[in-house]
């Protein structure tokens, strides 16, 4: 795992909410090494090791942790569970890519390494971010406390880290100002004890250069 990773923080939030003690192993210096690839053949984080059982992919990890340790963060109702999975999938497909992978990388990760932002990547991401935020604002229109109503679920923990990294960019900060329901939801989430604890772990690393991200300019950056 590396300290400021959005997906790593989803797992940290879920473990912390469930009061499961865990050791955090920072893989940043080893990313892409044979040792890391033996744990994650797609060269990503997080990876969970629970008593010798290893698994990667954040949704698989979170669902495993949820079944292994209470209290449940999945609705009992089948349809509500389907909606939770809709959120989990939407984070990977429509929220994280444009908010974190494109905008935050261009505005935060690359500048911290002295690499100039690619404005074409930013311009491509912004309207897509607006759509995703509008969808979320609308889902919260029913006066829902959390994304699925009254119950805090994995959906909330999946969305939060991506929105937090969005909020740290100038454009994201502005876009969030005009979405009061998302803002209120974020405030409720920020008040969760697990969130306070996890942000305290992450805070010292914010703004630190992510050295291995230098090569993302070649490997990850979209070409428009
Ligand atoms: N589909 C993966 C995505 C994980 C992912 O993209 N993690 C990022 C950190 S947020 C990563 O490992 N980046 C390192 C890299 O791309 O070199 C999951 O759900 O776990």
Residues at CB less than 6 angstroms from ligand 1: 5-7, 31, 43-45, 57-58, 92
Q: Among 8, 12, 26, 45, which residue has the most ligand 1 atoms within 8 Å of its CB, making it the best to mutate? A: 45
CATH code of the domain covering residue 46: 3.40.30.10
Positive or negative torsion for Cα 193, 199, 201, 203: negative
**Closest atom, ligand 1, to C-alpha of 45:** 12
Give the C-alpha separation, 108 to 121, whole Å.
13
DSSP state of 195: H
Q: Identify whether residues 99 and 57 lie together within a single domain.
A: no
Residue 1 lies in a domain: no
Residue 172 lies in a domain: yes
Last residue of a domain, one of 44, 68, 92: 68
**Closest atom, ligand 1, to C-alpha of 2:** 9
Q: Identify whether residues 178 and 103 lie together within a single domain.
A: yes
User: How far is ligand 1, taken at its centre, from the CA of residue 142, in Å?
Assistant: 32
Q: Identify whether residues 11 and 39 lie together within a single domain.
A: yes
Give the C-alpha separation, 131 to 146, whole Å.
20
What does the pLDDT read at residue 88? Answer: 98
Residue 153 lies in a domain: yes
**Closest atom, ligand 1, to C-alpha of 61:** 20
Domain that holds residue 44: 6-68
Q: Identify whether residues 190 and 102 lie together within a single domain.
A: yes
Residue 224 lies in a domain: no
What does the pLDDT read at residue 1? Answer: 45
Residue 73 lies in a domain: no
- CA-nearest residue for atom 13, ligand 1, is 44
Q: Identify whether residues 41 and 151 lie together within a single domain.
A: no
Q: Identify whether residues 90 and 58 lie together within a single domain.
A: no
Q: What is the mean pLDDT of each run of 10 residues along the chain (224 residues)?
A: 82 98 92 95 97 98 97 97 98 98 96 97 98 97 90 98 96 98 97 97 89 92 92
Q: Identify whether residues 158 and 209 lie together within a single domain.
A: yes
Instruction: Name the 3-class secondary structure at 96.
Output: helix
CATH code of the domain covering residue 191: 1.20.1050.10
What does the pLDDT read at residue 3? Answer: 61
Q: Identify whether residues 13 and 94 lie together within a single domain.
A: no
Last residue of a domain, one of 39, 68, 97: 68
Q: Among 3, 4, 7, which residue has the most ligand 1 atoms within 8 Å of its CB, making it the best to mutate? A: 7
Q: Identify whether residues 190 and 157 lie together within a single domain.
A: yes
Contacts (Cβ under 8 Å, ≥6 apart) of 47: 1, 27, 39, 40, 54, 55, 56
Q: Identify whether residues 22 and 59 lie together within a single domain.
A: yes
Q: Identify whether residues 94 and 48 lie together within a single domain.
A: no
For the chain, the domain total comes to: 2
Q: Identify whether residues 186 and 130 lie together within a single domain.
A: yes
């Amino acid at each position: 795992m590396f300290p400021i990773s959005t997906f790593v923080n989803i797992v940290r939030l879920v473990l912390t909410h469930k009061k499961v003690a865990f050791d955090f192993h920072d893989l940043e210096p080893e990313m892409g090494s044979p040792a890391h690839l033996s744990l994650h053949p797609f060269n990503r984080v997080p990876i969970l090791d629970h008593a010798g059982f290893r698994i990667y992919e954040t949704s698989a990890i979170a669902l495993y942790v949820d079944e292994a340790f209470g209290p449940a963060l999945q609705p009992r109702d089948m349809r509500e569970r389907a909606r939770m999975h809709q959120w989990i999938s939407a984070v990977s497909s429509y929220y994280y890519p444009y908010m974190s992978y494109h905008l935050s990388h261009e505005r935060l990760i690359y500048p911290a390494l002295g690499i100039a932002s690619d404005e074409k990547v930013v311009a491509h991401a912004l309207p897509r971010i607006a759509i995703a935020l509008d969808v979320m604002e609308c889902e919260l229109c029913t006066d829902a406390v959390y994304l699925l109503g009254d119950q805090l679920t994995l959906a909330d923990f999946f969305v939060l880290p991506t929105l937090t990294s969005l909020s740290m960019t100038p454009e994201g900060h502005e876009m969030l100002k005009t979405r009061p329901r998302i803002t209120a939801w974020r405030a409720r989430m920020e008040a969760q004890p697990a969130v306070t604890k996890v942000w305290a772990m992450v805070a010292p690393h914010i703004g630190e250069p992510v050295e291995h991200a230098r090569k993302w300019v070649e490997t990850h950056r979209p070409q428009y």
